[in-house]
C-alpha cells in the first residue's frame, strides 16, 4: 500500500523523469542529426535535469522502494560521477555540523588554510579562478572530477571495495549510453562528452554559493528565491536551507514549504538569501564570493 501511495503522490517526479529521458533521446538522435550544436545544448540541459532527478532519488523519491527508485536513474547519462558515489557522498554532506569543512564535507569548495599556504602560485591562481562563477562553470567540472576521482582512488587503495563496486556499476550504466549512441543516436561520442561537461557546468551555478562558512551550522545553507527555468532545472534545491532542514520533502513541495515558513527559514539561516540567479550572476560572474582557504577552519 505504501508503494501505491508514493506512486500517487509523487507523479510529478515520474512525469519529469520520463520527459527528461524523451528530451535526452531526441537531443542525441533527431536534434543532433538536424544541427549538432542544438543537439549538444539540449542534451546538456537534459543531463543537468537528470542529475537533479538523481538527487531526488537518493533522498528516497519517488517510491518507497529505494531499489526501484535507483533503477529509474541507472543509465550513466551524466558520465562523470557514479550515481552510487554521488549518493553516498551527498548523504554524508547532509550532516549539517560538517558543512563547508575542507575535510569532512565531501562537497566543500574550501581548502584548509595550511594546505593553501603550500600551493604554488599557478595552483593558487587556478583555485581563485575556480572561485568566481564564470571560472566555476568553465573549470569547475574538470577540477571537481579530478578531485573526486583522486579521493575515490585513495579510498580504494586504502581497501574500500565499495568504491570499486560503484565504479563498475557505473561502467554498466555508461555502456547503456554508449550502446544507444552507437546504435540509435546521431551524436558523436566527443559531442556527447561535451554535452555532459556543459550539463555539469550548469549544475555548478547551483552549487556555487549554496553554502557559506559560518560559525552556526544552521546559517550555512543559502536560499535563492528564484522561480524561473533554473529553479526547475535544479528542482527547487535553490531553496537549500529548506532542503537541508527537510530533505524528505519532494522537489515540487519545497516552494510551498518555504512560502509557509519564509520568516522562520530566513531567521534560521541568518538572512543568507538571494533574490534570483540573475542577482548572483550580476554580483559574482567575474568576482569571488568567498576566499579559497576556509576563513573559520580550526585544525583538530
pLDDT tens for 194-218 read 999 999 999 999 999 999 999 999 9
Please give the Cα distance from 101 to 3 (Å, whole number): 37
Residue 99 φ then ψ, to 5°: -55, 130
Q: Identify the pLDDT of residue 4.
A: 42
DSSP 1-42: -HHHHHHHHTHHHHHHHHHHHHHHHHIIIIIHHH-HHHHHHH
Of the candidates 208, 213, 175, 211, the residue with the CA atom closest to the CA atom of residue 281:
208
DSSP 150: H
Predicted confidence at residue 9, as pLDDT, reads 61
For 266-288, give one letter per residue: b (16+ CB within 10 A) or e. Answer: bebbeebebebbeebeeebeeee
Q: Which helix (H) or strand (E) holds 224?
A: strand 223-224
DSSP 137: H
- Exposure on the CB side of residue 74, measured as CA atoms within 13 A: 13
Q: What is the largest CA-CA distance in the chain?
A: 60
Q: Residue 36, class by beta-carbon neighbours within 10 Å (0-12 exposed, 13-18 middle, 19+ buried)?
A: middle
DSSP secondary structure of 246-280 = -TTS-GGGHHHHHHHTHHHHHHHTTT-EES-HHHH
Q: Is residue 293 a contact partner of residue 112, using CB atoms and an 8 Å limit?
A: yes
The reported pLDDT for the residue numbered 6 is 42
Angular region, 252: left φ>0, alpha ψ -120 to 50, beta rest: alpha
Rounded alpha-carbon distances, angstroms, from residue 195 to 40, 97, 186, 230, 248: 5, 35, 13, 17, 30
**Whole-prediction pTM:** 0.95
Q: Is the peptide bond before 45 cis (omega within 30 degrees of 0)?
A: no
DSSP state at residue 166: H
Query: Phi first, then psi: what are they for 48, rounded to 5°?
Result: -65, -40
DSSP state of 223: E
Can you list the residues of the chain whose pLDDT is less than 70?
1-9
- Predicted pLDDT at 300: 73
For the chain, the straight-line distance linking the first and the last C-alpha, in angstroms and rounded, comes to: 48
User: What are the φ/ψ torsions at residue 214 (nearest 5 degrees)?
Assistant: -155, 145
Amino acid at each position: 500500500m505504501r508503494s501505491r501511495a508514493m506512486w500517487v503522490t509523487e507523479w510529478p517526479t515520474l512525469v519529469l523523469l520520463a520527459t527528461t529521458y524523451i528530451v535526452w533521446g531526441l537531443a542525441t538522435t533527431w536534434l543532433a542529426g538536424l544541427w549538432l550544436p542544438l543537439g549538444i545544448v539540449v542534451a546538456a540541459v537534459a543531463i543537468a535535469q537528470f542529475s537533479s532527478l538523481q538527487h531526488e532519488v537518493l533522498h528516497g523519491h519517488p517510491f518507497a522502494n529505494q531499489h526501484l527508485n535507483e533503477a529509474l536513474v541507472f543509465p550513466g547519462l551524466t558520465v562523470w560521477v557514479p550515481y552510487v558515489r554521488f549518493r553516498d557522498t551527498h548523504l554524508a554532506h547532509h550532516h549539517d555540523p560538517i558543512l563547508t569543512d575542507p575535510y569532512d564535507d565531501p562537497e566543500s569548495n574550501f581548502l584548509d588554510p595550511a594546505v593553501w599556504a603550500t600551493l604554488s602560485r599557478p595552483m593558487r591562481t587556478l583555485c581563485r579562478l575556480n572561485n568566481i562563477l564564470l571560472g566555476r562553470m568553465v573549470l569547475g567540472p574538470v577540477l571537481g572530477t579530478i578531485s573526486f576521482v583522486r579521493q575515490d582512488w585513495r579510498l580504494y587503495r586504502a581497501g574500500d571495495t565499495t568504491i570499486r563496486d560503484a565504479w563498475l556499476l557505473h561502467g554498466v550504466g555508461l555502456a547503456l549510453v554508449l550502446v544507444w549512441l552507437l546504435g540509435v543516436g546521431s551524436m558523436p561520442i566527443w559531442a556527447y562528452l561535451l554535452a555532459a561537461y556543459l550539463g555539469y557546468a550548469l549544475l555548478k551555478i547551483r552549487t556555487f554559493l549554496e553554502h557559506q562558512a559560518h560559525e552556526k551550522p544552521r546559517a550555512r545553507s543559502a536560499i535563492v528565491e528564484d522561480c524561473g527555468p533554473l529553479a526547475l532545472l535544479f528542482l527547487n534545491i535553490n531553496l537549500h536551507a529548506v532542503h537541508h532542514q527537510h530533505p524528505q520533502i519532494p522537489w515540487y513541495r519545497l516552494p510551498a514549504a518555504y512560502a509557509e515558513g519564509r520568516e522562520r527559514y530566513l531567521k534560521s539561516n541568518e538572512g543568507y538569501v538571494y533574490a534570483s540567479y540573475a542577482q548572483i550572476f550580476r554580483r559574482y560572474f567575474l568576482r569571488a564570493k568567498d576566499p579559497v582557504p576556509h576563513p573559520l577552519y580550526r585544525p583538530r
